[in-house]
Structure 1
Amino acid sequence: MSNEKVRVFDTTLRDGEQSPGVTVTPDQKVQIAIKLDELGVDAIEAGFPIVSAGEMRAIKEIANKGLKAEVCGLARATVADIDAAIKCDLKYVHTFIATSDIHMQYKLKMTPDQVLQRAVRAVEHAKKHGLAVEFSAEDATRSDRAFLLKVFRAVTEAGADRIDIPDTVGYRTPDYMAQIVTEVREATKLPVSVHCHNDFGLAVANAIAGVNAGAACAHVTINGLGERAGNASLEEFVMALGILYNKRHNINTQMIYETSRFVSNTMGIIVQPNKAIIGENAFGHESGIHTHGVINNPLTYEPIAPELVGRKRWLMAGKHAGAHGIRAMLGEFGINPTEDQLHLIVEKQKEIADRGKSISTSELLSIAGEVMHNPQFEEKFKLYDFQIFTGMHTIPTAVIRLSAEGKELIASETGVGPVDAALKAIQKIAGDVASVKIREYRLGSISGGSDAQAEVSVKVEDRNGNVVSAKKANQDIVVASVEAMMDAINKVLLKRVLDSKG
């Protein structure tokens, strides 16, 4: 196999932003670009310059940011689009036109000859202005193969630097991708990229098949964001590439999870819990059989160490949990029950789980505290009071009063809503002692009617990667949220005390 590193072309800021419901500000685009550059991607598709003035402003700022990655802009095969890219100070353009019969007939309403001419003129115009050019034949994998190769040869002669093969609707298989990459490489002698969509769940497999067939580059997105079912996921592609195929790349894998979370929070798209590599459950274990194995040797049920992608392993209480897992969870907090106490703790938490309820870390510790009569659970932070100010013409503001080791502390914060304001105020006031980030916030109801009780679950992570979950119920959503957050922070502090002693 070739020793050359596989090129990672990230299109989170272009194809990823085209995910339904996603819009980011120019400033947010710049911040994401910086994160991607720190992650080590080779190229950043910063956006589609022609779409808006704000898009052009963001792309221009990214282009002039001095990033290590190449910065690219998307352009249809038109002079206007390419000129817009030039105005953004870009040195690299990704230009495209569709080549499949269905696109030419129903979208472009152009003949194959017209498409060919448009493609060549676009490449010539870009090269005349000194741009590096990557040319994509949109819907390449549903195009007539002879016509597709004709277009690729023509743009190669016109000066294109790279050729991209998009599987625009995720329609093809790994075998097909390998075949088409081989033919395009032979026809053009240029570096080939693959751009795979996930409509049949094959995007990563197709991208890897393309690379194994000689493609030099894959277009990917953080968290697999993109149109419809999304694009090939950067984290899955990179980890499979390195671990399963022993191919090299420039990605700092230990930054994968941090980057994933940043993009998820900024773009407002939650990552599914069972998503490979970066899903919350990717390194979580509940089953007694699994936890027993993982405790003895993590490789029994984990293909890679979580630290490799910036994660930590975590164990979950619940119906399937066994004594080994529960003992290990409690041990992380310095709690060592006797065999009889452990048996009772396991049974009590299973009784709750059998009622269809998940068991938070905080609840497990409370059960242990009751069984063991353990004074270790005394709260470090206590809530005195809080007030919320909100209304149609008022920015939601929270004022929180806490005590920490007898000292009263007060903080206020604004937010997008009363819950957001309250949780921000708690994080602010507890910042020096318990610097935590909210990893997950869930709201549910446990009774019906207008007086329904709200059940709030929060999962927080401290700067050391310790993760704690807590759950509270109350008729007032804000009260439930504040109590759950306070409970989670107190349990994080319990863990931190143990870490400091170790």
Structure 2
Amino acid sequence: MKKQQTSESAKNLEKMLAVSPYNQLALSGVGPIKDVKIFDTTLRDGEQAPGIALSREDKVRIAIALDDLGVDILEGGFAASGEGEKEILTKLMKSDLDAKVCSLARCVISDIDAVLSTGVGMVHTFIATSDLHMQYKLKMTPEQVKEKAVEIVEYAKAHGLEVQFSCEDATRSDLNFMKDVLKGVQEAGVDSINIPDTVGVITPRAMGYLIGELKKTVKVPLSVHCHNDMGLAVANSIAAIDAGATICHVCMNGIGERTGNAALEEVAVNLFANYGIQTVDMSKIGPTSKLVERITGFNLAGNKPIVGRNAFAHESGIHVHGVMANSLTYEPFKPEMVGENRAIVIGKHSGAHSIQGRLDALGIAFPEEHLPDLLSTIKKIAIGGKMIDDAELLVIVDNLLWKRNTKGTMVTLDELTVLTGKNTTSTAVVTVTIAGSGKRTAAETGVGPVDAAINAIKKAINDKLTMEEYKLSAITGKSDSICEVTVMVKNVQNDGALAVGKAVGLDIVETSVDAMMCAINRDFARQRNA
């Protein structure tokens, strides 16, 4: 169901925006654009993306979500392509949707009959008008193409259908011929005319020119259907609306053939932010995007505008500082406007402000004097691009706070080399420095690289040292998770005392060795502080 925003809620949405003032200056000469209809083709052109195959249930779920989002027209399928498509279109007609349900059809009588059999009241019919398509695909003369276009529009209108006609490959068609065809279908009673950039080759300025020229001939509403082969689908759609088109074909998440179609969410946000035109319920964009992503299995790129996981994620210390003061410093609009959430990411580029902000959000009171140590540890762990989630941050913090009880370092690990592999006996060589005793180097084998490294350390420190307990945890359970190792050792100094060591890190062997060294130093500290 299309949701009409109250004037108060519209004002609240406007407060979430911080776009360029030059947009309005550039648009000052553009006539008022009162309304733009969203023609959603996620269920037809979107499904044609390689790898997407939707069941009837899938299509109905997506259709209901898009209808709730507020799209005006739903292109539910291609009736002539099979009985399954007919059944889906019939089911959509019985789903009590506010949006008009439309079917694609070629300029063929049997295609129109297939649409009529579903009970759908609108047809989007097309025929190619470019020389390239007429010669190599249709093998028809321009005269035959125009005759067929007019015939089908007349037939569809005579049978009570609302008709939108498309000149396929319009942006590579001869302008005069295209105008001639459009005059013919207009005289035949067409309700709207669509201009497709079928292979995504036009530029925004050229699209504006083309729509402007066609408006001299076309008196019915103009629509635009843009593909993203050159990365300009959304820009071309906006340019067409700027020039007078009032219907825009889109797909949720920009899915579609090859590189996809103009993304619904990007078109909707641009129209609202820069033209003040609200085409859908903005707050439902994020949830609808996620639903389509789950059902289609077509994963979004992290940097996808509006709905990608990084759209409102901040890691850089400078950016986070600004966002924490006022989010609009580094966001064009607030994420809640489109039903999304902001994420302050902890990683290699994080600064003290972002880490402190995350700690505050988690309710952790962390000593300010130890913040540089925490920042250093995080940057070390995240050097390979690792993003640290809340659970891992808690473990790192806990480990640093726990280490505060150790005063100074008596034993340092200078070198560690581990040789391991399939059908290879794991061997480790370590060099340690013990205060007052100098350097010691030892080599040992073990059952795996961790055991070999621990055995080498024991040999270098004290042969009677024993491992009483070893515990390893992968914090998130993922393959790139930070691991936490806790060890309990005995006889570090040959007096029967127990010592516990803890460490966190990405590499299991290194983290295990760090935990071992922590336990050894805690034992030396016990004696020194006694």
Give the TM-score range, shorter chain.
0.7 to 0.9
Partner of 1:329: 358
CA offset at residue 146 of structure 1?
A: 0.6
**Could you list the runs of 5+ residues in structure 1 that have no partner in the other structure?**
375-446, 452-468, 476-502
Partner of 1:482: none
AA of the residue aligned to 2:208: A
AA of the residue aligned to 1:335: I
The superposition leaves residues 72-118 of structure 1 with CA deviations (integer Å, 9 ceiling, x where unpaired) of 00000101111111111011000000000110111111111111111
CA offset at residue 245 of structure 1?
A: 2.5
AA of the residue aligned to 1:120: V
Matches within 5 A, 1:4-403: 4-246=34-276, 248-373=277-402
Which has the greater radius of gyration?
2
Q: In structure 2, how many angstroms separate the alpha carbons of the residues matched to 1:450 and 1:94?
A: 66
Partner of 2:493: none
- Checking the alignment, whether the CA contact within 8 Å between 2:347 and 2:385 is kept in structure 1 is no
AA of the residue aligned to 1:153: K
How has the CA–CA distance of structure 1 residues 474 and 306 changed in structure 2, closer, same or farther, with 3 Å as cutoff?
Answer: closer
How has the CA–CA distance of structure 1 residues 293 and 448 changed in structure 2, closer, same or farther, with 3 Å as cutoff?
Answer: farther
AA of the residue aligned to 2:187: E
TM-score, normalised to structure 1's length?
A: 0.74
Matches within 5 A, 1:440-459: none
- Checking the alignment, whether the CA contact within 8 Å between 1:362 and 1:471 is kept in structure 2 is no
**Aligned partner of residue 13 in structure 1, secondary structure:** helix
Q: In structure 2, how many angstroms separate the alpha carbons of the residues matched to 1:207 and 1:450?
A: 61
Q: In structure 2, how many angstroms separate the alpha carbons of the residues matched to 1:323 and 1:219?
A: 45
CA offset at residue 355 of structure 1?
A: 4.5
CA offset at residue 448 of structure 1?
A: 9.2
**Aligned partner of residue 125 in structure 2, secondary structure:** strand
CA offset at residue 474 of structure 1?
A: 9.6
CA offset at residue 331 of structure 1?
A: 1.5
Between stretches 335-344 and 124-133, larger displacement belongs to 335-344
Q: In structure 2, how many angstroms separate the alpha carbons of the residues matched to 1:349 and 1:250?
A: 44
Q: In structure 2, how many angstroms separate the alpha carbons of the residues matched to 1:230 and 1:450?
A: 49
How has the CA–CA distance of structure 1 residues 362 and 37 changed in structure 2, closer, same or farther, with 3 Å as cutoff?
Answer: same
- Checking the alignment, whether the CA contact within 8 Å between 2:272 and 2:279 is kept in structure 1 is no
How has the CA–CA distance of structure 1 residues 355 and 223 changed in structure 2, closer, same or farther, with 3 Å as cutoff?
Answer: closer
CA offset at residue 371 of structure 1?
A: 2.1
The superposition leaves residues 303-347 of structure 1 with CA deviations (integer Å, 9 ceiling, x where unpaired) of 100000001111111111001001111221111212123222211
Q: In structure 2, how many angstroms separate the alpha carbons of the residues matched to 1:225 and 1:448?
A: 44
Partner of 1:414: none
**Aligned partner of residue 241 in structure 1, secondary structure:** helix
The superposition leaves residues 446-472 of structure 1 with CA deviations (integer Å, 9 ceiling, x where unpaired) of x99899xxxxxxxxxxxxxxxxx9453
Partner of 2:501: none
AA of the residue aligned to 1:357: K
Q: In structure 1, how many angstroms separate the alpha carbons of the residues matched to 2:150 and 2:361?
A: 63
CA offset at residue 183 of structure 1?
A: 1.8
How has the CA–CA distance of structure 1 residues 450 and 96 changed in structure 2, closer, same or farther, with 3 Å as cutoff?
Answer: farther
- Checking the alignment, whether the CA contact within 8 Å between 1:39 and 1:256 is kept in structure 2 is yes
1:472 is aligned to 2:478: yes
CA offset at residue 8 of structure 1?
A: 0.7
AA of the residue aligned to 2:138: L
**Could you list the runs of 5+ residues in structure 2 that have no partner in the other structure?**
1-30, 404-419, 425-474, 482-530
- Checking the alignment, whether the CA contact within 8 Å between 1:185 and 1:191 is kept in structure 2 is no
**Aligned partner of residue 44 in structure 2, secondary structure:** coil
Over the matched positions of the two proteins, sequence identity in percent amounts to: 49
Q: In structure 1, how many angstroms separate the alpha carbons of the residues matched to 2:176 and 2:196?
A: 16
Count of aligned residue pairs for this structure pair? 385
How has the CA–CA distance of structure 1 residues 240 and 474 changed in structure 2, closer, same or farther, with 3 Å as cutoff?
Answer: closer
Q: In structure 1, how many angstroms separate the alpha carbons of the residues matched to 2:84 and 2:319?
A: 50
The superposition leaves residues 157-210 of structure 1 with CA deviations (integer Å, 9 ceiling, x where unpaired) of 011000000000000011111111112222021100010111110000000000
Q: In structure 2, how many angstroms separate the alpha carbons of the residues matched to 1:299 and 1:450?
A: 57
- Checking the alignment, whether the CA contact within 8 Å between 1:220 and 1:231 is kept in structure 2 is yes
AA of the residue aligned to 1:210: A
The superposition leaves residues 336-394 of structure 1 with CA deviations (integer Å, 9 ceiling, x where unpaired) of 212123222211111111245332332112101222359xxxxxxxxxxxxxxxxxxxx
How has the CA–CA distance of structure 1 residues 290 and 97 changed in structure 2, closer, same or farther, with 3 Å as cutoff?
Answer: same
Q: In structure 2, how many angstroms separate the alpha carbons of the residues matched to 1:72 and 1:169?
A: 22
AA of the residue aligned to 1:171: V
AA of the residue aligned to 1:291: V
The RMSD of aligned alpha carbons is 2.0
Q: In structure 2, how many angstroms separate the alpha carbons of the residues matched to 1:28 and 1:46?
A: 12
Q: In structure 2, how many angstroms separate the alpha carbons of the residues matched to 1:189 and 1:355?
A: 59
- Checking the alignment, whether the CA contact within 8 Å between 1:32 and 1:263 is kept in structure 2 is yes
- Checking the alignment, whether the CA contact within 8 Å between 1:7 and 1:249 is kept in structure 2 is no
- Checking the alignment, whether the CA contact within 8 Å between 1:8 and 1:217 is kept in structure 2 is yes
The superposition leaves residues 203-235 of structure 1 with CA deviations (integer Å, 9 ceiling, x where unpaired) of 000000000101011100000011111000011
